């Protein structure tokens, strides 16, 4: 028996008792009829009050035991396109196979092999990100906060290998155009790796700390430490990308006056620098959009805008490396230089032998 039934029965019993008592008293007096009528009206009013009270108690009880709705985190942040997740995941898988093929069969120099390794890391990050994204967009799996956190973190840091590709292609172009020695080139490589270690670590630390340790839906601007980590990381990557843009242009201009690259490779080298310049612009579009969203987290949240301004530039970027044609110029220049050095050594040895024979 619930609370509403109990309340109704109690009030009904009280009403009946009241009516009987008043009626018994009323039969002894001359005003019995009027008293009985008043008693009946009072009892009716009490019955209506009891019914309203019982209904209110029942509604309150039902409301208190109703389960709270479970938040779908993916839908809340406007992740909606399951089909797009599967499409980009499939495209990335194909790009992964092409990258592995180029790494194994096409790359000849240390530089081009390193570039394909960075691209392979990007492929792994993006396959994982879109696989998890597709999974949590299926049915109600977006209610799993752990899966949402991992998808968000991987999506946030997965682009960084492309920035490294830009930096190393530009630096290698500078080394070739200006004729850096191996020692100087190694120093620049270490310097760039140190920068990426710093900026990559701060971006990753921001993504993990803000996603895992702050309440869902928080504004990063409310947490000074996260702001410092984010600004160091993203601004550092932004500055490196600006350097690759102007550095690639400088390399195109400097290749002829310095004459460090054989003339037969100058045109191909310039084409490679044009590719790097265009890729720098693509990366700047992504980073500017990301920076704007960092400072304005409740604007431009539509998933379609994210695909156009953040994801599409990455995939256009990688398209240039699905074939080894552009990067092959680095291999050919290195091979030509090594062959020239070997020929020079052989020629020097021959001259020494001839000089020794003349002396004899």
> Rounded mean pLDDT of 217-241?
88
What is the tens place of the pLDDT at every residue in 238-286? 999 999 999 999 999 999 888 789 999 999 999 999 999 999 999 999 9
What is the tens place of the pLDDT at every residue in 77-88? 778 888 999 999
CA distance 271 to 122: 24
Model pTM? 0.76
Tokens of 303: 């998933």
**pLDDT, greater one: 22 or 132:** 132
Answer whether residue 132 shows pLDDT above 80: yes
What own/partner pairs with CB < 8 Å and gap ≥ 24 does 135-142 have?
A: 136/73, 136/74, 136/79, 137/74, 137/79, 137/80, 137/81, 137/82, 137/85, 138/82, 140/70, 140/72, 141/74, 142/72, 142/73, 142/74, 142/75, 142/79
**pLDDT, greater one: 230 or 49:** 230
Per-residue pLDDT, 250? 95
Per-residue pLDDT, 282? 97
Per-residue pLDDT, 285? 96
Per-residue pLDDT, 62? 47
Q: Could you tell me what percent of the chain has a pLDDT over 90? A: 47
Tokens of 249: 């242009």
Lowest mean pLDDT among 92-101, 144-153, 340-349: 340-349
Q: Among 293, 286, 289, 294, which residue's Cα sits nearest to residue 312?
A: 286
Per-residue pLDDT, 228? 92
Answer whether residue 71 shows pLDDT above 90: no
> Rounded mean pLDDT of 343-355?
57
Answer whether residue 68 shows pLDDT above 80: no
Answer whether residue 145 shows pLDDT above 60: yes
Tokens of 315: 């995939």
Q: Which residues contact 302 (CB under 8 A, 6 or more apart)?
A: 78
CA distance 282 to 275: 11
What is the tens place of the pLDDT at every residue in 5-49? 554 555 455 445 544 554 454 444 444 455 445 545 555 665 555
> Rounded mean pLDDT of 190-214?
90
Per-residue pLDDT, 214? 81
> Rounded mean pLDDT of 302-331?
94
> Rounded mean pLDDT of 84-93?
95
**pLDDT, greater one: 357 or 85:** 85
């Amino acid at each position: 028996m619930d609370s509403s039934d109990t309340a109704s029965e109690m009030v009904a019993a009280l009403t009946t008792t009241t009516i009987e008592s008043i009626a018994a008293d009323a039969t002894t007096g001359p005003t019995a009829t009027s008293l009985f009528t008043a008693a009946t009206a009072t009892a009716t009013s009490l019955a209506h009050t009891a019914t309203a009270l019982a209904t209110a108690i029942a509604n309150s009880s039902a409301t208190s035991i109703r389960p709270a709705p479970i938040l779908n985190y993916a839908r809340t942040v406007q992740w909606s396109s399951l089909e797009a997740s599967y499409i980009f995941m499939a495209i990335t898988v194909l790009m992964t196979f092409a990258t592995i093929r180029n790494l194994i069969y096409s790359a000849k120099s240390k530089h081009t092999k390193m570039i394909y390794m960075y691209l392979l890391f990007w492929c792994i990050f993006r396959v994982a990100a879109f696989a998890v994204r597709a999974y949590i967009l299926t049915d109600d799996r977006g209610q799993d906060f752990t899966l949402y956190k991992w998808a968000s973190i991987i999506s946030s840091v997965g682009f960084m290998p492309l920035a490294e590709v830009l930096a190393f292609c530009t630096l290698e172009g500078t080394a070739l155009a200006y004729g850096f020695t191996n020692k100087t080139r190694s120093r620049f490589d270490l310097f760039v790796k140190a920068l990426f270690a710093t900026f990559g670590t701060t971006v990753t630390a921001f993504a993990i700390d803000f996603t895992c340790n702050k309440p869902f839906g928080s504004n990063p601007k409310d947490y000074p430490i996260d702001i410092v980590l984010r600004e160091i990381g993203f601004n550092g990557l932004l500055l490196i990308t600006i350097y690759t843009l102007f550095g690639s242009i400088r390399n195109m201009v400097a290749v002829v006056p310095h004459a460090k690259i054989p003339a037969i490779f100058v045109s191909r080298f310039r084409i490679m620098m044009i590719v790097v310049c265009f890729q720098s612009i693509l990366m700047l579009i992504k980073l500017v959009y990301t920076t704007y969203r960092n400072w304005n987290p409740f604007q431009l949240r539509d998933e379609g805008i994210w695909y156009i301004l953040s994801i599409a530039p990455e995939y256009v970027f990688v398209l240039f490396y699905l074939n080894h044609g552009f990067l092959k110029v680095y291999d050919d220049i290195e091979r030509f230089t090594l062959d020239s050095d070997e020929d020079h050594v052989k020629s020097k040895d021959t001259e020494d032998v001839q000089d020794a024979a003349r002396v004899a």
